[in-house]
Amino acid sequence: MRLPSVPLPVAIRAARSASRLSQRLGRGGGTTIGGLMLGQLRPEATAEMSAELRQGVLLVSGTNGKTTTARLIRAALDASGYKVAANTAGSNLERGVATALLGAHSADMALFEVDEAALSDVSAKTVPRVVVLLNLFRDQLDRFGELDKLLEQWHQTMLRLPESTTVVYNADDPALAYIVANSDADHIRKVAFGVDDSRLNRKKLPHAADSAWCRFCGRLRPTSSNNTSTEPKECSGDNKDHARQTGGYVPLQYDTVTIGHLGRWSCPRCGVQRPFLDVAATKIELHGLSGQRISVTTPQGPREVSLRLPGLHNAYNALAAVACAHAIELDPEVVGPALAKRQAAFGRAERISIGQMHITTLLAKNPAGANENIHTMLATKQQLHLLLLLNDRTADGRDVSWIWDVDYELLLKDNRLGSLTVGGDRAYDMALRFYYGGFGLNHINVVPDIATALDSGLAAAGPNGDLFVLPTYTALLEFQDILTTRGLVPAFWEDS
């Protein structure tokens, strides 16, 4: 039998005290303990506190890009004069959301990045004003299961959203286009974003592409060539029969491939194609590690967005932020300058200096993200010195077989790789991966201890070198703690 709930004011005071005590004792940033206690004392507290926010709740979820996208949206909200409660330290399960709400007593609005598997529960309790869906890539198979399992969870989440919610989604992801189109929620407003710059075409899908087949076949009929609707209709006739016989697995055709299975896609059988883009990047100029410039079309007209963040993946994050800003009717004249000022979050293209040396940290936790990091590094001119940190703890996923789907071989072309140090719990697995990729064992420095691996990587890069660090999630936290202890960066929960 469940005990009666504690009154909300009492539960809030106790939870806040727990968070402060955690920080004072040096046990962490207090980013989860408060929410855990709040949930125990009053399970309905998250829903009650969310309902008090006059301007509602914004949720951001996806396999890759949650933290950066949330930071970009936060920049636009701050510049627009909103007081915002947010889980800036990245604690993105329900307990992290509840902890962030403890500080929302003077906020107009809340902005939360949400773990993919937690989106259903968090959206049910917060009744979001906007849900931003970034992408779905294969990640942490031992936790999430196959991608279709997570996709079905998101599909059910879409079905339960109220008519007051706007769904902002990446239409370049066929899986997201499918669940949004099949949500049977015509009353929900939808804002699609994507990339329309064919110069960025990578021409073929990587071998690790996930959602590269048509999920619509057998359910939808072809759309006309001039269709601008995001809602394909039910299939019929020969298409339906043929799809049933083959199980519906029809490879999509791509006019443009960007990241993983993202791009401008269509089905050669049923005729379904990428939906009309409400917010589109028509021109993306990548400027190495220094950032990029993006020409964007919006319902309010064309915009130019400058970013201090590198890589095509961050162009998608910026598009999601612009689309979210449109959904909540922020002044577009304010949004662009706000995004231009935003720096990288810890570990997401974060760049620090030690004397004449530089360290660039690129979180790499799944094939799609790691491959995009490789493209970002290869876009620079210098010789590459790498420190790869591979852990297999709960937050990383116990299964590290995903490293065999990363295109590390690209680093071995043209002698770009100057040095390679591997560390973390599964350092030897990473060393084996590079050995089979064609890198000689005598060129691989295996140092499992992360602090020692950092020193070895810096030594290999040289006094004026540039060290790229690619850690998994828990390795990133440990690496960040080392940098904090050495006085090089603030603690991650101090990130704002």
Compute the radius of gyration of the chain from its Cα atoms.
23
Confidence of residue 32 (pLDDT cuts 50, 70, 90): confident
User: For the residues 140-162, what does the mean pLDDT come to?
Assistant: 82
Confidence of residue 225 (pLDDT cuts 50, 70, 90): very low
Task: Return the minimum-mean-pLDDT range out of 27-41, 110-124, 188-202, 297-311.
Answer: 27-41
Confidence of residue 249 (pLDDT cuts 50, 70, 90): confident
Dump pLDDT digits (tens) for 427-450. Answer: 999 999 999 999 888 889 999 999
Amino acid 1: pLDDT: 45
Amino acid 230: pLDDT: 44
CATH no. for 348-494? 3.90.190.20
Measured CA to CA in angstroms, residue 236 lies from 151, 215, 239, 481 at distances of 24, 15, 6, 58
Q: How far apart are CA 132 and CA 171, in angstroms?
A: 12
Residue 338 region by backbone torsions, left for phi larger than 0, else alpha for psi between -120 and 50, else beta: alpha
Dump pLDDT digits (tens) for 386-399. Answer: 999 999 998 898 99
Domain boundaries, the chain: 1-43, 45-341, 348-494
pLDDT exceeding 90 applies to what percent of the chain? Answer: 69
Give the single-character DSSP code of 311. Answer: S
Confidence of residue 315 (pLDDT cuts 50, 70, 90): very high
DSSP per-residue letters across 199-237: GG--SS--TT-SS-EESSTTT-PPPPTT---S------H
Dump pLDDT digits (tens) for 85-128. Answer: 999 888 899 999 999 999 888 899 999 999 999 999 999 999 99
Q: Which residue has the higher pLDDT, 254 or 2?
A: 254
Q: How far apart are CA 82 and CA 62, in angstroms?
A: 25
User: For the residues 191-218, what does the mean pLDDT come to?
Assistant: 90
Amino acid 410: pLDDT: 93
Q: Which two tokens stand for residue 91?
A: 């604690």
Q: Which CATH class is domain 45-341?
A: alpha beta
